[in-house]
Structure 1
């Protein structure tokens, strides 16, 4: 029973770390990366649809991304979604068949803003992991009458080490992203 609680907590914590890394990839660095645009929602026939499902994306140059819609009728909506996308500040142009997105050069001030955003996302992920730990600890405490205090305390120690390892993984990903953001 204790092992089930710990396995579930490990799984949820791992998913939180992966979600944090995915969030970090959505914050842009000096290059135009298609991953930045995957989650942008486009109003496609009244339904918010991720851009990655509506168009192919290539980056022929470091700061340029070419978006080729699968359905030409969605071109205007894709362009509108890219213009209104937060934290991009990109120049968006449409030539009738593709949308060309040119990202501006990152200034030092803009890089610092992105680092703040990444740190905030990292802190949110840590809070999520701590909440998972709290729920697992409550589940372990509920098992005290069935398995005994010693087993529960061993389980809590293991839960703490698992929590620490996952928080360290988020810190490592955060440091990596910060250095990536400050590279020129």
Structure 2
């Protein structure tokens, strides 16, 4: 296992965590909160963003303009059943989501959710570290690398792990600040 591969895997974990953070709602309208909404469209679970244009007419409203107007009811139902906590308004042409200001309790819930996503991301990075170190130890046992090389590689893997867990903490702190900003 090469260090570049390990670093690429860790970077992917950071990006996945960032995408998870983007699905958490803040006080402003953001189309990425709809990323995990799946619509039952002709018997197939279809991502909402592939079925409609999502726009932001003002800072507290999302407007969903489906490509197929016949799917309005299904989109409305999928949003209602999702965990985003918003009530869709259907006017026959588009679905509007009014994003109310967050209460302090709701902000704290979202901060906890962000912390959970951040911890999941750090666990993913640590799992990558564990697999890499196991691989290095196996190479040392087989005689492919010397004991000194093994120790150096393990140190480098640990430094990468520290770098990416610190990055996760920075992303989490930024998201918490964004959520708590009134």
The aligned counterpart of 1:168 is: 166
Q: 1:143 aligns with which of 135, 139, 144?
A: 139
How far apart are residue 171 of structure 1 and its match? 0.3
Separation (CA, whole Å) in 1 of partners of 2:160 and 2:104: 37
Separation (CA, whole Å) in 2 of partners of 1:116 and 1:124: 12
Tell me, which stretches of 5 or more residues in structure 1 are unaligned? none
The aligned counterpart of 1:102 is: 98
Write the deviation string for residues 112-154 of structure 1: whole angstroms up to 9, x where unpaired.
0000000000000100110000000011011111111110100
RMSD: 0.9
3-state DSSP of counterpart to 2:101: coil
Q: 2:113 aligns with which of 93, 117, 137?
A: 117
Separation (CA, whole Å) in 2 of partners of 1:181 and 1:85: 20
The aligned counterpart of 2:53 is: 56
How far apart are residue 177 of structure 1 and its match? 0.3
**1:65 pairs with 2:62:** yes
3-state DSSP of counterpart to 1:39: coil
Confirm or deny: 8 A CA contact 1:89 1:103 kept in the other structure.
no
Separation (CA, whole Å) in 1 of partners of 2:65 and 2:112: 32
Separation (CA, whole Å) in 1 of partners of 2:7 and 2:163: 10
How far apart are residue 48 of structure 1 and its match? 0.6
The aligned counterpart of 1:181 is: 179
Write the deviation string for residues 18-46 of structure 1: whole angstroms up to 9, x where unpaired.
10011001101001101111221011111
Separation (CA, whole Å) in 1 of partners of 2:86 and 2:58: 14
3-state DSSP of counterpart to 1:146: coil
Q: 1:90 aligns with which of 65, 71, 86?
A: 86
The aligned counterpart of 2:10 is: 13
Tell me, which stretches of 5 or more residues in structure 2 are unaligned? none
Q: Flag as ranges the 4+ runs of structure 1 deviating above 6 A.
A: none
